[in-house]
């Protein structure tokens, strides 16, 4: 027999699983430290690649100046400025990445917990209906 409450729970669970829940369920499979570690490693490589590309574009744009004044440029100070810029950029993006992914992880864990609670509620409804159906079937045989 169809139960409106059971169907409502099943619909909510399916809507979650096929929507936002896909990402949440993937995130929840990780330990927090593993999830954040992966995000920070990815951040390191992408920030490094982005910095090198940005630096290459700026040097290409200013190539004429750099070549004309190459003998005047203090290479140690220039290298130190580039390194400091890289460390600052990496630090800023690391803080942003850590904050974003920590909040995202906590929200996903909370939503997945609610999902499992609703799943448990659905199981309780199924068990309740199974007992009622088994009781009715046993009563009919007698």
The total number of structural domains in the chain stands at: 1
Q: What is the pLDDT of residues 29-40, one digit of tens each?
A: 999 999 999 999
Residue 140 in any domain: the answer is: no
Question: Quick one: pLDDT at residue 121?
Answer: 87
Q: Mutual orientation of helices 75-141 and 21-28 as an angle, nearest 10°? A: 100
Residue 142 in any domain: the answer is: no
- Helical segments of 62-74, H only: 63-68
- Helical segments of 19-74, H only: 21-28, 32-61, 63-68
Q: What is the pLDDT of residues 117-141, one digit of tens each?
A: 988 888 888 888 888 877 776 655 5
- Other CB atoms closer than 10 Å to residue 30's CB: what's the count? 16
Question: Quick one: pLDDT at residue 109?
Answer: 94
Q: What is the pLDDT of residues 83-111, one digit of tens each?
A: 999 999 999 999 999 999 999 999 999 99
- Distance between CA atoms of residues 114 and 13, nearest Å: 10
Q: For all residues of the chain together, what is the average pLDDT?
A: 89
Residue 137 in any domain: the answer is: no
Question: Quick one: pLDDT at residue 79?
Answer: 92
Residue 141 in any domain: the answer is: no
More confident of the two residues 91 and 1: 91
Residue 139 in any domain: the answer is: no
Residue 90 in any domain: the answer is: yes
Check: CB of residue 25 under 8 Å from CB of residue 112.
Answer: yes
Residue 38 in any domain: the answer is: yes
Question: Quick one: pLDDT at residue 129?
Answer: 81
Q: What is the pLDDT of residues 54-73, one digit of tens each?
A: 999 999 999 998 889 888 88
Which band of pLDDT confidence, cut at 50, 70 and 90, is reported for residue 14? Answer: confident
Question: Quick one: pLDDT at residue 64?
Answer: 92
Closest CA to 26 of 38, 43, 9: 38
Residue 94 in any domain: the answer is: yes
Closest CA to 46 of 7, 16, 1, 90: 90
Q: Using only C-alpha atoms, what is the Rg of the chain?
A: 29
122: domain range?
A: 4-132
Question: Quick one: pLDDT at residue 18?
Answer: 86
């Amino acid at each position: 027999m169809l139960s409106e409450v059971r169907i409502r729970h099943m619909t909510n669970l399916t809507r979650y699983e096929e929507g936002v829940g896909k990402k949440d369920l993937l995130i929840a499979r990780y330990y927090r430290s593993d999830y954040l570690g992966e995000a920070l490693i990815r951040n390191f490589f992408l920030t490094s690649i982005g910095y090198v590309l940005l630096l290459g574009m700026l040097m290409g744009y200013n190539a004429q100046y750099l070549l004309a004044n190459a003998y005047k440029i203090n290479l140690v100070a220039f290298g130190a400025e580039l390194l400091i810029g890289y460390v600052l950029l990496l630090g800023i993006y690391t803080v942003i990445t850590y904050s974003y992914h920590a909040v995202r992880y906590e929200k996903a864990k909370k939503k997945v917990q609610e999902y499992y609670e609703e799943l448990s509620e659905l199981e309780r409804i199924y068990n309740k209906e199974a007992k009622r159906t088994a009781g009715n079937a046993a009563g009919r045989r007698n």
